[in-house]
Structure formats: C-alpha cells, structure tokens
C-alpha cells in the first residue's frame, strides 16, 4: 500500500507552518485543518502532491496568521516565538537551522502575513514564483516584488555576521557557565556592551515587560546563583534550559564577534511544552 503524501511530507508541512506562524501549537492546528481539506481532494487530479500540500498549508497558515496577529497586539509584554527542541542533526543543514532560529523568526514577526509567507516559501524552501503566486493568491510579478521587499526588510534586521557552529557553541557554553556561577563579572565578560535581553512571560510568568539594554543592566538582572542550567538544542542551535524556583526558561542567544549580543528568554509556560521531544523538521 502506498503511503499517503500527507504522511510522507508531514515534517516539511509542519516546518512551513511553524516558520510562518512562530508557534508550534498554531502550526499543528494548521496541519489538522489542511489534512481535512486534503482528505476531500481527488488525488488522481493532483500531479505534484508536495506542491499541492504546501499550497494548502500556506493558505491555512495565512488565515491563522491574520487571526493571531490581532491577538498578539494584546499580548502582555514581549512576544517571542515558541522554542522547539531539535536534534543536533538539524544544525548540519545550515540553511534549515538558520530559517528556524529564534532570531530569524523574531524578525519575521515584523513582516505582514503575505510578505512572511512569500519570504518563507521563496528564501527557505526555494519555491518557484509561480507556485508561490498560487499559494498566496497573487500574480507571479507581484510575488517577485513582495519577495524583494521582504528580503531587504529581513536583511536589515537579522544578525550582522554569521558565526561558525563551533564558535556559537563555545560562546553559548561560556554564557551558560556564567549563568551557573551567577556572578555579574562572569556574565559581563561574555556579553557585548550593548547586549539586549528580551523576555516573554505572556503575563503568566514573571518577565521584564520591555527589552533590557546594556551589559550592566542585563547582568544585574540575570546574576543569581540558585538555578539549574543545562545545554539543549533549540531551533537548530545550542541554547540553555534554565530552572529557578520551579520556573522553567528556554534561553536562545545571538552571537556576534565572539560575544552574546541578544538574549531571547521564553518563560511563558504555555510556550514550553515541546522541550522533551525533538521536533521533526525538513526542507
């Protein structure tokens, strides 16, 4: 019996939806809605099941994105993407790892729904403009223009320099070691002077309500010895799992020039439900 194309491509479809939405929970809902639509399709009329399924998922994700965009305006404090536990193997695919990084997903939040969909499908999954046009309901010419604008927008906001996996891992380990000691000086030595800390508590867990700027302030906020710190792989990169007073945090770092320049700390427990089972991602 031939395996259903939806099952074959599920990891890809989840990755598309997650990159468009920044939320694994929303991505799973989109996949469920897409499956119901796929179940009603006459498979004999579908020449390219993969492209057809990506189109269904994109349309459903766009619908969801427009809905959640309104709720995120009312979100308490800073909104960060939902972190995913990933195997170190994901980092082997450099482009996939970068596309699901917390840093990039945070930048994608600043795009409009259609721009985000076009960027993800073109830059990450390298879909032809014609296919993207069918998925987002625009002409191929319009999609080219949208892709160009989105590319420029993202390039202006993503980390300035790329670092090797080994350098990223080294700096992350130094930062996590400093977190374990809880010493201000140890933390300041591994952070850039203009480091920024963004924390997402969602009004459910204690978190800084706005970004914290500067090594001195960030170190003072983070310096406390009574915590458990371990290294995990989140969104294709080494990161930290931190527990303090029964509260869990997922900590992702942006590294530039050998120092931590940005810290994304998710403490909203509703976004920390996927840290025990690695997500299956694919391009």
Give the mean pLDDT of the chain: 92
Rounded Cα–Cα distance for residues 165 and 156 (Å): 23
Residue extents of the structural domains in the chain: 5-157, 165-271
φ/ψ of 267, rounded to 5, equals -120, -5
**Is-contact 68 18, C-beta < 8 A?**
no
* Residue 194 or residue 43, greater confidence: 194
Q: Of 108, 116, 126, give the one whose Cα is nearest residue 51.
A: 126
**Structure confidence at residue 220 (pLDDT):** 92
Task: Tell me the mean pLDDT in the region 152-171.
Answer: 87
Whether 146 has a pLDDT exceeding 90, the answer reads yes
The reported pTM is 0.93
Topology of domain 5-157, CATH: Butyryl-CoA Dehydrogenase, subunit A; domain 3 (1.20.140)
CATH code of the domain made up of 165-271: 3.10.450.50
**Structure confidence at residue 179 (pLDDT):** 93
Tell me the pLDDT tens digit for each residue of 37-76: 999 988 888 899 999 999 999 999 999 998 887 778 788 9
| Proportion of the chain above pLDDT 90, given as a percent | 76
**Structure confidence at residue 45 (pLDDT):** 87
Helix (H, G, I), strand (E, B) or coil at 248: strand
**Structure confidence at residue 1 (pLDDT):** 61
**Is-contact 194 261, C-beta < 8 A?**
yes
Tell me the pLDDT tens digit for each residue of 5-45: 999 999 999 999 999 999 999 999 999 999 999 999 888 88
Rounded Cα–Cα distance for residues 136 and 127 (Å): 12
Task: Tell me the mean pLDDT in the region 132-153.
Answer: 95
Helix (H, G, I), strand (E, B) or coil at 214: coil
Tell me the pLDDT tens digit for each residue of 91-116: 888 888 899 999 999 999 999 999 99
Whether 252 has a pLDDT exceeding 90, the answer reads yes
**Structure confidence at residue 166 (pLDDT):** 87
Rounded Cα–Cα distance for residues 54 and 12 (Å): 8
Residue 244 pairs with which residues in a beta bridge? 247
**Structure confidence at residue 211 (pLDDT):** 96
Residue 82, judged by CB atoms within 10 A of its CB (0-12, 13-18, 19+), counts as buried
φ/ψ of 181, rounded to 5, equals -70, -30
In the chain, which residue ranges form alpha helices assigned H by DSSP?
5-8, 10-21, 24-39, 49-73, 94-99, 102-108, 113-119, 129-136, 140-157, 165-181, 184-190, 215-222
Whether 172 has a pLDDT exceeding 80, the answer reads yes
**Structure confidence at residue 164 (pLDDT):** 83
Rounded Cα–Cα distance for residues 89 and 228 (Å): 25
Rounded Cα–Cα distance for residues 275 and 15 (Å): 17
Reported confidence tier of residue 259, pLDDT bands at 50, 70, 90: very high
């Amino acid at each position: 019996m031939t395996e259903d194309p939806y099952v074959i491509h599920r990891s890809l479809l989840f990755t598309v939806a997650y990159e468009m939405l920044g939320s694994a929970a929303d991505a799973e809902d989109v996949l469920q809605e897409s499956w119901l639509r796929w179940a009603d399709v006459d498979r004999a009329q579908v020449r390219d099941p993969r492209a057809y399924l990506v189109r269904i998922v994109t349309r459903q994700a766009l619908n969801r994105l427009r809905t959640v965009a309104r709720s995120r305006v009312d979100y308490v404090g800073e909104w960060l993407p939902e972190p995913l536990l990933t195997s170190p193997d994901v980092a082997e695919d450099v482009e996939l790892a970068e596309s699901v990084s917390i840093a990039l997903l945070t930048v994608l939040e600043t795009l409009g729904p259609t721009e985000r969909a076009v960027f993800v499908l073109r830059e990450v999954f390298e879909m032809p403009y014609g296919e993207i046009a069918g998925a987002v309901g625009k002409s191929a010419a319009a999609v080219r223009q949208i892709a160009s604008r989105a590319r420029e927008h993202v390039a202006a906001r993503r980390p300035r320099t790329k670092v090797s996996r080994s350098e990223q891992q080294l700096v992350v380990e130094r930062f996590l070691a400093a977190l374990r000691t809880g010493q201000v000086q140890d933390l300041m030595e591994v952070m850039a002077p203009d480091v920024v800390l963004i924390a997402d508590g969602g009004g459910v867990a204690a978190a800084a309500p706005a970004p914290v700027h500067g090594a001195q302030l960030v170190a003072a906020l983070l310096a406390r010895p009574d915590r458990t710190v371990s290294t995990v792989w989140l969104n294709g990169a080494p990161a930290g799992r931190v527990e303090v007073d029964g509260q869990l945090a997922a900590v992702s770092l942006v590294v530039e020039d050998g120092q931590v320049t940005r810290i994304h700390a998710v403490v909203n427990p509703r976004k920390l439900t996927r840290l025990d089972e690695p997500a299956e991602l694919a391009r």
